A = this chain, B = another copy of it.
Amino acid sequence: MARASVPDPSDFLAVDADLSAEERDIRDAVRDYAAAELSPRIAEWYESNTLPRDIAKGLGSLGLLGMHLEGYGCAGTNATSYGLACRELEAVDSGLRSFVSVQGSLAMFAIHRWGSEEHKQTWLPRMATGDALGCFGLTEADAGSDPGSMRTRARRAGSGPDADWVLDGSKMWITNGTLADVAVVWAQTDPDAGSKGIRGFVVPTDTPGFTANEVKHKLSLRASLTAELVLEGVRLPADAAFPEVRGLKGPLSCLNEARYGILWGAVGAARACYESALAYSIDREQFGQPIAGFQLTQRKLADMVVAVNQAGLTASRIGRLKDAEALHPAQVSFGKMANVRAALDVARTARTVLGGNGITLEYPVFRHMTNLETVLTYEGTEEMHALSIGQAVTGIAAFR
């Protein structure tokens, strides 16, 4: 009987042993890039509430923008590889993964999935390299969990299918809104028709009437730029609209993509917090011994080990389902809810291991902990995903 070796503290169930060579290469490439280019600067970005636009080029050169899309200059990897990239980026900061999620899973995916050939040709290649940035305008100040109640309106400037569109309204909590060259904006086209009337528009951000105002005073996800988009009589050509998709199906398909990246990313944030606490506990001495030797600390570490690795297993499983094109949105809800919840719990526990040192930017844990509050909320709150899972197993919708 072979004697198994002591588990890797950071991959306790050896989940990564099942990765293909290509997947492992991608993981390592992102990890190396992050260690060299991102980790050293992240605390400063967080503190100053900035994220330099030029990181887009670096991420693009690694193939991380629109990574799992086919053609138009995108890398076309499998879903697991994309997930690994999200994991390794969010191990640095949720803001970095958010940047990639918005660019690739929301803006680029929307154009790739629902856009006209012209939309794709115009935008995707430049977005894949990071030369152009996109944002995704769905949420409004008064329409969060219930996007169907959005108030942004698109009306025809004239009659007939070739008439221009005019958009009015505003969007809130829009990541990369102030950086973006192009915004995918969802609007009601017919107030009387309910959610069926929602359509998506490709809006160059230099269109007159379009402004993006940065959201200030954030205490979370500060290495990410968040904006309010204001659309005042934004006039667009008829072909600015996505040609076919109608209703919430369009934006929800994109959210589903973004949530997939989040459920992987959360594993990275959780792992980073746990690793920080583990290292600290071994290094830090009180009462004449490393605090890692106290039962109360070991209990925390063990709970973190379970949470981090069950989240990792969950992401891995969901990745394989997506690679097999067998992934249902309720399973994405499972992963988003379970993994972000786990990551937040781990971050909070890790914070206590660090004691007073846990409250500054010297260690990554508090930063992750604050970020994860946003991650818990955006792309569907914990409650909304619980109700999605509930609906999947009971057949009854309980949102209202």
Of the listed residues A6, A9, A139, A288, the one surrounded by the most CB atoms of chain B closer than 10 A to its CB is A6
Determine the chain B residues whose CB is within 8 A of the CB of A144 once the complex forms.
Answer: 286, 355-356
B9 touches A393 (CB 8 A): yes
Using A367-B219, A373-B366 as known contacts, say yes or no to A390 and B149 having CB atoms under 8 A apart.
Answer: no
Q: Is A221 an interface residue (CB 8 A)?
A: yes
Using A296-B383, A394-B301 as known contacts, say yes or no to A4 and B326 having CB atoms under 8 A apart.
Answer: yes
Q: Is A358 an interface residue (CB 8 A)?
A: yes
Q: Is A232 an interface residue (CB 8 A)?
A: no
Of the listed residues A12, A215, A356, the one surrounded by the most CB atoms of chain B closer than 10 A to its CB is A356
B356 touches A377 (CB 8 A): yes
B376 touches A2 (CB 8 A): no
A13 touches B334 (CB 8 A): yes
Determine the chain B residues whose CB is within 8 A of the CB of A19 once the complex forms.
Answer: none
Determine the chain B residues whose CB is within 8 A of the CB of A286 once the complex forms.
Answer: 143-146, 149
Q: Is A303 an interface residue (CB 8 A)?
A: yes
Of A54-62, A204-212, A277-285, the one with at least 4 CB within 8 A of chain B: A277-285
- Report the minimum CB–CB distance from A322 to chain B (whole Å): 9
Using A313-B313, A352-B377, A366-B373 as known contacts, say yes or no to A359 and B219 having CB atoms under 8 A apart.
Answer: yes
Q: Is A292 an interface residue (CB 8 A)?
A: yes
B394 touches A330 (CB 8 A): no
Q: Is A387 an interface residue (CB 8 A)?
A: yes
| A12-39 near B? 1/0 per residue, CB < 8 Å | 1111000000000000000000000000
B328 touches A4 (CB 8 A): yes
Q: Is A50 an interface residue (CB 8 A)?
A: no
A338 touches B310 (CB 8 A): yes
B387 touches A295 (CB 8 A): yes
Determine the chain B residues whose CB is within 8 A of the CB of A328 once the complex forms.
Answer: 4-7
Q: Is A351 an interface residue (CB 8 A)?
A: yes
- Report the minimum CB–CB distance from A145 to chain B (whole Å): 5
A219 touches B4 (CB 8 A): no
The residue in chain B whose Cβ has the minimal distance to the Cβ of A298 is B390
Q: Is A142 an interface residue (CB 8 A)?
A: yes
A389 touches B317 (CB 8 A): no
Determine the chain B residues whose CB is within 8 A of the CB of A389 once the complex forms.
Answer: 12, 298, 301-302, 305-306
A377 touches B394 (CB 8 A): no
- Report the minimum CB–CB distance from A108 to chain B (whole Å): 16
The residue in chain B whose Cβ has the minimal distance to the Cβ of A344 is B348
Q: Is A370 an interface residue (CB 8 A)?
A: yes
The residue in chain B whose Cβ has the minimal distance to the Cβ of A8 is B393
A305 touches B334 (CB 8 A): yes
B309 touches A310 (CB 8 A): no
Q: Is A71 an interface residue (CB 8 A)?
A: no
A314 touches B13 (CB 8 A): yes
B292 touches A6 (CB 8 A): no
A352 touches B326 (CB 8 A): no
362-400 of chain A: CB within 8 A of chain B: 362, 366-367, 370, 373-374, 376-378, 381-383, 385-387, 389-396, 398-400
The residue in chain B whose Cβ has the minimal distance to the Cβ of A3 is B328
Q: Is A213 an interface residue (CB 8 A)?
A: no
B302 touches A299 (CB 8 A): no
| A340-360 near B? 1/0 per residue, CB < 8 Å | 000000001001100110111
Of the candidates B139, B298, B356, B399, the one whose C-beta lies within 8 Å of that of A394 is B298
Q: List 11 A-B contacts (CB under 8 A).
A: A13-B331, A218-B359, A219-B367, A221-B359, A278-B394, A290-B396, A293-B394, A295-B296, A296-B386, A313-B317, A359-B373
Inter-chain pairs besides A12-B331, A292-B396, A298-B390, 9 sampled, C-beta below 8 Å? A6-B328, A12-B330, A14-B326, A215-B360, A290-B394, A298-B398, A299-B299, A352-B376, A366-B373
